[in-house]
Structure 1
């Protein structure tokens, strides 16, 4: 398979994956807001859904962060080695944004976990 076609195919798969993550995040946020009422965890079904939402938040954000770090980190290292005067600050910030994705997922999971 040609590299350009492979790149566009992987980009399309990534976009579909990100759409599903956004849909799951919206579902988790709606559940989070709906669970703010009085006696939200008295229902075992609600507690199990909140626990599953927390697990999905951690799992999806960690997987996405690892995938982004693999891609961005490889590109940053190759860019640094090819150019001696490369802008390391920009590459460091892009790697930090990938790490922030995992941290945000962990924060959402902690917020959901406090409901149980």
Structure 2
């Protein structure tokens, strides 16, 4: 079975920038992902950043590293970050690695 290609859909509301992740977030897409998509929004502190992981089918250690980097950048700038709709398989991996406590601390309901 072929890997599901990774993509991000972006939408913006008055209060939030919502990034909807699709597919597999792994080493193969990590470098271009941050440079091409996340870097442009992670530093925008005037709005909450919402990462919607509903359709994230797989994440490896590189992908987890990206989530941690986003969390760190947002925390340093005291900017809001919400990670929502985490699939069970991804949530389990985040729990095993101990990262879920940091990502889930700010989890809220649906984006604005």
* Same fold by TM-score greater than 0.5: no
Which structure has the greater CA radius of gyration? 1
Q: Which has the higher helix share?
A: 1
**Structure-1-length-normalised TM-score:** 0.30
**Structure-2-length-normalised TM-score:** 0.31
Greater relative contact order (Cα < 8 A, sep 6+): 1
Q: Which has the higher strand share?
A: 2
